[in-house]
Chain A
Amino acid sequence: MSGEVLKGEGLTVRDLRVTFDGFTAVDGVDLDIRPGDLRFLIGPNGAGKTTLVDAVTGLVKATGSVRFGGDELLGKPVHRIARLGIGRTFQTATVFEELTVLQNLDIAAGAGRGPLTMLRRRTGVPESVTKALETTGLTELRDRPAGVLAHGQKQWLEIGMLLVQDVQLLLLDEPVAGMSHEEREATGELLQRVSAERTVVVIEHDMDFMRSFARSVSVLHAGKVLSEGTVAEVQADAKVQEVYLGRVSEPEPAAVPVAEEA
Chain B
Amino acid sequence: MTTTLTRLRVPGAFLLGAVLLLGVAPLALSDFRLSLFAKYLCYAIVAVGVSLAWGRGGLMVLGQGVFFGLGGYAMAMHLKLTDAAATGEKLPDFMQLYGTSDALPWWWEPFANPFFALAMTVLLPMVVAGVLGFFIFRRRVKGAYFAILSQALAAALSIWLIGQQATTGGTNGLTDIQGFFGYSLDDPVNQRMVYFIIAAVLLLLMALARQLFVSRYGELLVAVRDSEERVRFLGYDPANVKLVAYVVAAGMAGLAGALFVPAVGIISPALIGIVPSIGFVIGAAVGGRASLVGAVLGAIAVAWAQSTLSDAFPAAWTYLQGLLFVLAVGFLPGGLASLWFVLRRRRTRPTPVIRTEEPVAVTVGETA
A88 CB-CB contact with B under 8 Å: yes
Q: Which residues of A contact B229 (CB under 8 A)?
A: 59, 78, 94
Cα–Cα, bound, A51→B9 (Å): 50
> Which of the residues A104, A118, A151 comes within 8 Å of B215, measured between beta carbons?
A118
Cα–Cα, bound, A150→B357 (Å): 7
A148 touches B355 (CB 8 A): yes
Q: Which residues of B contact A112 (CB under 8 A)?
A: 235
A121 CB-CB contact with B under 8 Å: yes
Q: Which residues of B contact A83 (CB under 8 A)?
A: 235
Q: How large is the interface on A (under 10, 10 to 19, 20 to 34, 35 or more residues)?
A: 35 or more
A151 touches B356 (CB 8 A): yes
Q: Which residues of B contact A82 (CB under 8 A)?
A: 232-235
A111 CB to closest chain B CB, in angstroms? 3
A113 CB to closest chain B CB, in angstroms? 7
Hey, what's the 0/1 contact readout for B333-368 against A, CB within 8 Å counting as 1?
000000000000000000001011101111111011
Q: Which residues of A contact B235 (CB under 8 A)?
A: 79, 82-83, 111-112, 165
Cα–Cα, bound, A50→B367 (Å): 8
Q: Look across to chain A and name the residue whose beta carbon is closest to the beta carbon of B240.
A: A79
B124 CB-CB contact with A under 8 Å: no
Q: Which residues of B contact A99 (CB under 8 A)?
A: 219, 222-223, 226
B160 CB-CB contact with A under 8 Å: no
Cα–Cα, bound, A94→B353 (Å): 19
Q: Which residues of A contact B219 (CB under 8 A)?
A: 99, 103, 106-107, 122
A94 touches B216 (CB 8 A): no
Enumerate 28 A-B pairs (CB-CB under 8 Å) in ascending A order. A25-B367, A51-B367, A60-B367, A77-B237, A78-B233, A79-B233, A79-B237, A88-B233, A94-B230, A94-B364, A95-B230, A96-B222, A98-B222, A99-B219, A107-B216, A107-B219, A107-B223, A111-B236, A112-B235, A117-B216, A118-B220, A119-B217, A121-B211, A151-B357, A165-B234, A178-B357, A262-B367, A262-B368
Residues of A at under 8 Å CB distance from B?
20, 25, 50-51, 54, 57, 59-60, 77-79, 82-83, 87-88, 90, 92-99, 103-104, 106-108, 110-113, 117-122, 144, 147-148, 150-151, 161, 165, 178, 261-262
Known: A79-B236, A90-B365. 4 other contacts (CB 8 A): A87-B233, A94-B364, A117-B216, A262-B367
Report, nearest first, the 5 A-B pairs whose CB atoms are least far apart. Answer: A111-B235, A82-B235, A150-B356, A59-B365, A83-B235
Residues of B at under 8 Å CB distance from A?
211-212, 214-217, 219-220, 222-223, 226-227, 229-237, 353, 355-357, 359-365, 367-368
